[in-house]
């Protein structure tokens, strides 16, 4: 059998490090560099790979796979599964398979173990505080809505964990001057069996332009022209930078509105039932990819219902807790104000000292970036202010700021508090508020460069920062740092804001999801979403 370490190497250079050295790869495999070079030589003799030693700056090596080693190893494993011992089967499951191979292996194991009633038990239950009143991509504004939308609808593009934008519903796309030409994949169907057409894409995008929570983002589209069922044009006055990423976002998902008013998508699931306290998702049998192991998803608001149905795949089984990021808290300073870096640092120190007293030591759900025991600045050497500081608060933070006001007073600094309702906050442009800083909460992509793109396009952050450099250049100037990787440019921008004490991370908020022991291959995506599609069910007796 081919050495399974070839799978480990393939995963490393594909998913973990696109640029790699002999030292880094040997450490990943937990063998010496000399041993690894010997393996490369042996695999080259077997015509499995081509190994190009490191040269020049960084001593980066290159490995070219000459055969599909994953397909070969998969076929070898499938051939021996029926006679394999249980520990061997467990080892095979833990190979570095891609998602498709993992599903093939697990289904074969389920057959070998002669499990019965598989479909009945392939369910997943998730408890949520509340369900949204509707699921519509153009009006998504909460984590749970995004979670459900991700399972039901697809966008024209998709993003990867490596910060790339790839085609999803498209077979081909290209820019010709200021027009984006989109060619749809053929034979993609909605969950009601109807074919996806260019008219469906046009209607979905027109909704975003005319009536949605994201009108400012899509107002740059001047016209949409349908050429035929699978070809349409998006026309702009000026080619917008990174618009393909915009078309990959959850709110850009494509749907069809039925005469009943129901929305159907092309994702792996469809909404079978939608009630105030429960939603049920089922397999979309028309989905173009492989059907997921999880056939039915129950999403509840009533804990007792969740517990009644949550026996997992095989009845009463143990479970683990998975934390899923749902949003970020940070201090954001007004860049149009005259505060110095030192003054912003002083405000941050006082704020974080007080906030640290509210962090419960046993809170292991959220991840805090600030110390719980932050020290107060020395009054004798504290920075001086020649005017009051103004902060924007809401009903929930007003009490905190009143205590902060008292704390600032001990340093002879006056804090003015402007209280605004959440609705008024959302409807008021930050440039129309005369405040120095805000304690802000936003749900954005955790992966760069998408984190920066989200902040500069769809978060309140952009109201202060999208019109000034370097943020403006990042999003509008095609020539700006064009020779640097987008993720590098984005990271440098956020680091610059942090060094200037304009952007101060406070916490990563997370939600807990109970995962039965038999559920494997759990993946999370941005905006607090679980990827149900790639879940693998382990039917082995001890899972």
Q: Which residues lie closer than 8 Å to 433 by C-beta, 6 or more apart? A: 392, 418, 420
Tell me, yes or no, whether 300 lies in a domain.
yes
> What confidence score (pLDDT) does residue 364 get?
62
Lookup result for tokens 């997370």? 510
Q: What would you measure as the largest C-alpha separation in the chain, in angstroms?
A: 81
Let me know whether 277 and 221 are in one domain: yes
* 127, part of any domain: no
pLDDT level of residue 309 (50, 70, 90 thresholds): very low
160 and 262 within one domain: yes
Residue 254 CA to its chain's centroid (Å)? 19
**CATH code at 82?**
1.10.10
Pseudo-torsion of CA 102, 106, 109, 113, nearest 10°? 160
In a domain, 184, yes or no: yes
Weakest mean pLDDT among 154-163, 208-217, 301-310, 444-453:
301-310
Q: What is the pLDDT of residues 363-408, one digit of tens each?
A: 666 778 776 566 788 888 889 999 999 999 999 999 999 999 999 9
Is residue 302 very low, low, confident or very high in pLDDT (cuts 50, 70, 90)? low
pLDDT mean over 432-443: 94
CATH code of the domain covering residue 384: 3.10.105.10
**Phi/psi at 58 (nearest 5 deg)?**
85, -15
Q: Is residue 120 part of a domain?
A: no
Short-list 537, 90, 86, CA closest to 314: 537
Range of weakest confidence among 62-76, 240-254, 348-362: 348-362
Assess if residue 118 is contained within a domain. no
Once rounded to an integer, what is the mean pLDDT over residues 499-507? 94
Of 401, 431, 404, 403, the closest CA to residue 418 belongs to: 401
CB 425 within 8 A of CB 399: no
Checking if the pLDDT of 311 tops 70, the result is no
Q: 530: which DSSP letter?
A: E
Instruction: Examine the domain organization and report whether 182 and 41 are in the same domain.
Output: no
Do 230 and 201 fall into the same domain? yes
**Of the ranges 274-278, 293-297, 373-377, 535-539, which is most confident?**
274-278
Residue 94: predicted pLDDT: 72
436 with 421, same domain? Answer: yes
Q: Residues 299, 333: one domain? A: no
What mean pLDDT value characterizes the chain? 85
d(CA 83, CA 201): 50
> Confidence class of residue 415 from pLDDT cuts 50, 70 and 90?
very high
Nearest to 439 by CA among 323, 325, 334, 324: 334
Looking only at the bridges linking them, the beta strands covering 123-127 and 296-300 are parallel
Same domain, residue pair 159 and 82: no
Which residues in 211-318 belong to E strands, given as ranges?
Answer: 221-228, 231-236, 256-257, 263-264, 269-275, 278-283, 296-300
Q: What is the dihedral of CA 30, 33, 36, 42, to 10 degrees?
A: -160
pLDDT band at 168 (very low <50, low <70, confident <90, very high): very high
- What percentage of the chain carries pLDDT values higher than 70? 89
Specify the pLDDT at position 141: 82
pLDDT-derived band of residue 245, with 50, 70 and 90 as boundaries? very high
Residue 55 has pLDDT above 70, yes or no: no
Q: Nearest CA to 439 among 326, 327, 325, 324?
A: 327
Instruction: Give the pair of three-digit tokens for residue 257.
Output: 């509105």
Weakest mean pLDDT among 211-225, 277-291, 413-427 = 277-291
> Dihedral sign, CA of 188, 255, 252, 135?
negative
Q: Ranked by mean pLDDT, which of 89-103, 104-118, 288-302, 387-401 comes out on top?
A: 387-401
Contact by Cβ (8 Å): 266, 154: yes
Q: How many domains does the chain have?
A: 3
Domain encompassing residue 459 = 325-510
- pLDDT value for 285: 78
Strands 415-419, 389-393: pairing is parallel
pLDDT at 419: 95
Inform me whether the pLDDT recorded for 239 exceeds 90.
Answer: yes
CA dist list (Å): 360 to 62, 372, 460: 48, 9, 28
Decide if 221 is inside a domain: yes
């Amino acid at each position: 059998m081919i050495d399974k370490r070839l799978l480990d190497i393939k995963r490393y250079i594909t998913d973990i490090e696109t640029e790699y050295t002999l030292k880094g790869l040997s450490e990943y495999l937990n063998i010496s560099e000399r041993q690894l070079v010997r393996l490369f030589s042996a695999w080259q003799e077997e015509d499995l790979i081509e190994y190009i030693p490191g040269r020049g700056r960084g001593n980066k090596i290159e490995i070219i796979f000459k055969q599909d080693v994953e397909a070969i190893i998969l076929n070898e494993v499938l051939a021996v599964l029926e006679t394999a011992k249980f520990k061997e089967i467990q080892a095979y499951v833990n190979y570095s398979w891609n998602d498709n191979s993992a599903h093939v292996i697990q289904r074969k194991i389920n057959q070998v173990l002669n499990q019965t009633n598989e479909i009945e038990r392939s369910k997943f239950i998730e408890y949520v505080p509340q369900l949204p009143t509707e699921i519509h991509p153009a009006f998504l504004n909460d984590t749970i809505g995004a979670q459900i939308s991700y399972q039901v609808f697809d966008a024209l593009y998709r993003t990867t964990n490596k910060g790339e934008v790839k085609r999803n519903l498209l077979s081909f796309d290209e820019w010709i001057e200021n027009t984006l030409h989109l060619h749809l994949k053929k034979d993609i169907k909605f969950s009601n069996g109807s074919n996806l057409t260019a008219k469906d894409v046009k209607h979905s995008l027109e909704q975003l332009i005319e009536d949605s929570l994201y009108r400012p983002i899509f107002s740059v589209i001047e016209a949409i022209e349908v050429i035929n069922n699978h070809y349409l044009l998006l026309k702009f006055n000026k080619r917008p930078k990174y618009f393909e990423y915009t078309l990959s976002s959850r709110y850009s998902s494509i749907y069809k509105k039925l005469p009943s008013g129901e929305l159907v998508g092309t994702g792996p699931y469809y909404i079978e039932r939608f009630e105030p306290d429960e939603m049920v998702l089922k397999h979309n049998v028309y989905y173009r990819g492989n059907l997921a192991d999880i056939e039915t998803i129950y999403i509840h608001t009533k804990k007792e219902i969740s517990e009644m149905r949550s026996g997992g795949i095989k009845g009463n089984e143990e479970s683990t807790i998975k934390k899923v990021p749902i949003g970020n808290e940070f201090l954001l300073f007004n860049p149009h104000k005259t505060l110095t870096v030192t003054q912003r640092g002083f405000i941050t120190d006082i704020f974080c000292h007080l906030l640290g007293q509210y962090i419960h030591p046993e809170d292991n759900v959220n991840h805090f970036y600030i110390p719980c025991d932050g020290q107060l600045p020395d009054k004798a050497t504290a920075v001086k202010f020649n005017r009051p500081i103004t902060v924007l608060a809401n009903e929930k933070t007003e009490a905190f700021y009143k205590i902060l006001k008292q704390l600032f007073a001990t340093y002879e600094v006056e804090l003015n508090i402007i209280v605004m309702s959440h609705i008024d906050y959302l409807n008021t442009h930050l440039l129309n508020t005369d405040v120095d800083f805000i304690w802000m909460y936003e749900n954005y992509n955790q992966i760069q460069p998408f984190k920066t793109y989200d902040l500069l396009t769809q978060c309140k952050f952009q109201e202060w920062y999208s019109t000034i450099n370097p943020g403006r250049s990042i999003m509008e100037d095609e020539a700006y740092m064009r020779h640097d990787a987008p993720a590098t440019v984005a990271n440098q921008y956020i680091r610059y804001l942090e060094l200037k004490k304009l952007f101060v991370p406070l916490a990563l908020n997370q939600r807990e999801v109970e995962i039965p022991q038999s559920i494997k291959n759990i993946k999370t995506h941005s905006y607090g979403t679980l990827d149900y599609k790639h879940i693998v069910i382990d039917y082995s007796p001890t899972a």
